[in-house]
């Protein structure tokens, strides 16, 4: 369990790229596994979460291989072709793998046992299992709808017309993925638009899927049992990983960083708008579309941030980025108030409570709200000096590594190992830019 210790930065400048988008990487393995033929993926995130998805698809019959040139190939089994694995699927820390694959499995006549690490086993899965039971899947779950879970897919799956009760791309995607091997038409309605990587990739692979925008949100309609076509995918850099660099470069005086080829899906870029509202100096350059996804280069320089009382975007467009945004608010001048963040309590940890505890321990004045956090900024460096409990949450670990660059006394992160799930090169990349970080046994 290596600890991560922060120390004063020497600089923060350079041109970098961040690992491939985690959400797209998961889907780049899952969906081609249901095509017929070979799909090729360039830029796949090779973190532990995505590798867990690859292992699961292999166990259910797909062929997934890394090539000598660093790209990946997936040979699919066709829609309806998944088979029961001969082992328990261990998803480690990956809630995305678990929830999306529950959807895929729901409409296949197979039985799958699944588990994960202590963090994942503590996270509720009922929000996904409930609609999938209406498809016809059965679940034998641990207390509170948690892992370990045995899922028995439906022999005769039923299409759903489902309205999501919360803004969750994972719930939406699970229902759509169940609809792939379901006769008839599956409809998902969401009041708040959530990340749409599943819809984009299915359309690119030839599925009959339509998205209708209206004043009440979005309606996604999928015709079941398509013959998915193989696809070539270039995975853009993950905006959720870039967020740590964006915040670090925004709060460190004199910073000047260019981040290349970052995914700019409009349902994912709330962190940029939020930082700009706080006064961050971020330029969006060379915008283009690659493989159906918007990408751009981001040029960010150090700036004097101010607190904000309301967000310029819906929280769903940056739900994973709030931990590091709280750290930006801790360094900013004035008070920031963030609300509407109930979803943060059911992530890898209760991110509202864990961030509040870590910030308070390091001398930042915070008030935990039922659905968010109130942060009184220090107008510069924070006191620091405490050890932060990550609760096996990669984004907590990386957020406090960023905050530690602006701490008077070093901040210690109790366990750096969760960072491997999404951003394996985080420590080395930050160090190369000039951040002060060191791993300790």
The catalytic site residues sit at: 320
β-strands 436-440, 3-7 pairing: antiparallel
Query: Does the annotation list 320 as a binding residue?
Result: yes
CA 260 to chain centroid: 19
Assess contact for 375 and 359: CB atoms under 8 A. yes
CA distance 76 to 23: 19
Query: Does the annotation list 404 as a binding residue?
Result: no
Query: Does the annotation list 142 as a binding residue?
Result: no
Query: Does the annotation list 189 as a binding residue?
Result: no
Query: Does the annotation list 196 as a binding residue?
Result: no
CA 72 to chain centroid: 21
Query: Does the annotation list 351 as a binding residue?
Result: yes
Beta bridge partners of 209: 222
Query: Does the annotation list 3 as a binding residue?
Result: no
Helix residue ranges per DSSP H, 332-434:
351-361, 394-403, 426-433
CA distance 314 to 270: 7
Assess contact for 190 and 144: CB atoms under 8 A. no
- Sheet with 436-440: list strands edge to edge: 387-388, 412-413, 3-7, 436-440
Provide the 10 A C-beta neighbour count for residue 413. 27
Query: Does the annotation list 7 as a binding residue?
Result: no
Cα angle 423, 427, 432; round to 5: 120
Helices and strands per DSSP (H, E), number in the chain: 13, 25
- In degrees and rounded to multiples of 5, residue 379 shows phi and psi of 65, 35
Query: Does the annotation list 399 as a binding residue?
Result: no
Query: Does the annotation list 21 as a binding residue?
Result: no
Query: Does the annotation list 95 as a binding residue?
Result: yes
Helix (H), strand (E), coil (C) string for 126-167: HHHHHHHHHHCCEEEEECCCEEEEEEECCCCCCCCEEECCCC
Which residues line the annotated binding site for 3-phosphoshikimate? 22-23, 27, 168, 170, 320, 347
Residues marked as binding? 22-23, 27, 95, 123, 168, 170, 320, 347, 351, 395
Annotated binding site for phosphoenolpyruvate: 22, 95, 123, 170, 351, 395
């Amino acid at each position: 369990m290596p600890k991560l210790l922060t120390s004063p930065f020497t600089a923060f400048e350079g041109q970098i790229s961040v690992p491939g988008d985690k959400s797209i990487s998961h889907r780049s393995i899952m969906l081609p596994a249901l095509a017929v033929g070979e799909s090729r993926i360039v830029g796949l995130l090779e973190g532990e979460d995505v590798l867990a998805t690859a292992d699961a698809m292999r166990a259910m019959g797909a062929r997934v291989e890394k090539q000598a040139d660093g790209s990946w190939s997936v040979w699919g089994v066709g829609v309806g072709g998944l088979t029961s694995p001969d082992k328990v699927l261990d998803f480690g820390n990956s809630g995305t793998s678990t929830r999306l694959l529950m959807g895929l499995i729901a409409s296949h006549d197979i039985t799958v046992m699944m588990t994960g690490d202590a963090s994942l086993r503590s996270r509720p899965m009922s929000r996904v299992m409930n609609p999938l039971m209406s498809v016809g899947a059965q679940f034998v779950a641990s207390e509170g709808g948690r892992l370990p879970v045995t899922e028995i897919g439906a022999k005769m799956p039923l299409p759903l017309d489902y309205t999501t009760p919360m803004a969750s791309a994972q719930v939406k995607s699970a229902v759509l993925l169940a609809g792939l091997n379901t006769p008839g038409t599956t409809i998902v309605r969401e009041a708040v638009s959530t990340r749409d990587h599943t819809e984009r990739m299915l359309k690119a692979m030839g599925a009959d899927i339509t998205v209708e925008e209206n004043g009440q949100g979005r309606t996604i309609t999928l015709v079941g049992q398509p013959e998915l076509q193989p696809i070539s995918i270039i995975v853009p850099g993950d905006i959720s990983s870039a967020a740590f660099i964006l915040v670090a470069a925004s709060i460190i005086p004199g910073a000047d960083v260019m981040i290349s080829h970052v995914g700019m899906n409009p349902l994912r870029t709330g962190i940029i708008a939020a930082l700009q509202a706080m006064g961050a100096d971020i330029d969006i350059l060379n915008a283009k579309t690659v493989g159906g996804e918007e990408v751009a280069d981001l040029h960010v320089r150090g700036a004097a941030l101010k607190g904000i009382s309301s967000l310029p975007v819906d929280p769903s467009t940056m739900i994973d980025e709030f931990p590091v945004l709280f750290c930006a608010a801790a360094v900013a001048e004035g008070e920031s108030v963030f609300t509407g963040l109930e979803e943060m309590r059911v992530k890898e940890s209760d991110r509202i409570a864990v961030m509040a505890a870590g910030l308070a321990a390091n001398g930042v004045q915070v008030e935990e709200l039922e659905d968010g956090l109130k942060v009184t900024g220090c107008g510069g460096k924070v006191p620091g000096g405490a050890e932060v409990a990550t609760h096996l949450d990669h984004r907590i670990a990386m957020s406090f590594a960023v905050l530690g660059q602006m701490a008077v006394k070093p901040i210690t992160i109790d366990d750096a190992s969760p960072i491997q799930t999404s951003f394996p090169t985080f420590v080395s990349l930050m160090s190369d830019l000039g951040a002060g970080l060191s791993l300790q046994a």
